[in-house]
Structure 1
Amino acid sequence: MTTRTPPLGDTEGLWQAVIAASAGRCQCRGTCGTSHEKDGGRCKTVHGGYGRRHGTGPVRLLAAPAEPADLLLPAHKAAALPKTALVAWCPECHDATRRAAAKAQQASAPAAEPDSLF
């Protein structure tokens, strides 16, 4: 694994703690829609490694909420989550899980009644 360069805003070492707890590997277990079956049920993407697609460059893992529904929280609420509620995500799994959570939230929302004219 390559050197772990923290983001500029990681003044308290939160990102470093989350990445260290994950051993520098994405912690997605299929919430992104990919089974990750060939890799033991967990995404194989490592911090500093290369992405699945040609030309994507080195992957930088994100420290983000573990629960898919929490990925939809506003930034100020997500930033207030405790370290235990965060996991390491590769950008591909993070984005796919966030889209799936948004789609599920939208499907479970009650249908809005149309405005009546009279």
Structure 2
Amino acid sequence: MSTRIPPLADTGLWQAVIAAAAGRCQCRGACGKSHAKNAGRCGREHDGYQQHHGGGTVRLLAAPANPANLLLPPHRVAALPKQALAAWCPTCHDSALAAARRAARAVAPAAPDALFDL
């Protein structure tokens, strides 16, 4: 983990978030897994090897720490301060995003069919 390769458009924010996370995914179960083998926190590290989900090198991303904020549009996420961001491995991020979408659909009222409104 000595050489962290930042994303192409990194302005330093990504590096700050990854450094604050010590280069490790900060998911503590928002993805639906308990991460029990790693004391409740995902064990994936940036530039580490992931054995599951196709293998390959893990590239952490900086995204909202609050799973509900994963649903924000990109321009609002880009405006979040460093303290509101966390390091996520792609697997945990995708699972937490899917869970946030399911939760949003569950509480959203069903829209009436506008075709038959009078």
TM-score w.r.t. the length of structure 2 is: 0.92
Distance 2:64 2:117 in 1: 43
Query: Which ranges of 4 or more aligned residues in structure 1 deviate by more than 4 Å?
Result: none
Shift of 1:5: 1.1
Distance 2:53 2:103 in 1: 31
Identify if the C-alpha distance between structure 1 residues 117 and 104 changes in structure 2 by more than 3 Å, giving closer, same or farther. Answer: closer
Distance 1:117 1:80 in 2: 39
Q: Give the length in aligned residue pairs.
A: 117
**Match of residue 8 from structure 1:** 8
TM-score w.r.t. the length of structure 1 is: 0.92
Structure 1 vs Structure 2 CA RMSD:
1.4
Amino acid of the structure 1 residue aligned with 2:91: E
Amino acid of the structure 2 residue aligned with 1:106: R
Distance 1:114 1:55 in 2: 42
Amino acid of the structure 2 residue aligned with 1:61: L
Shift of 1:114: 3.2
| Identical amino acids, percent of aligned pairs | 65
Distance 2:53 2:7 in 1: 24
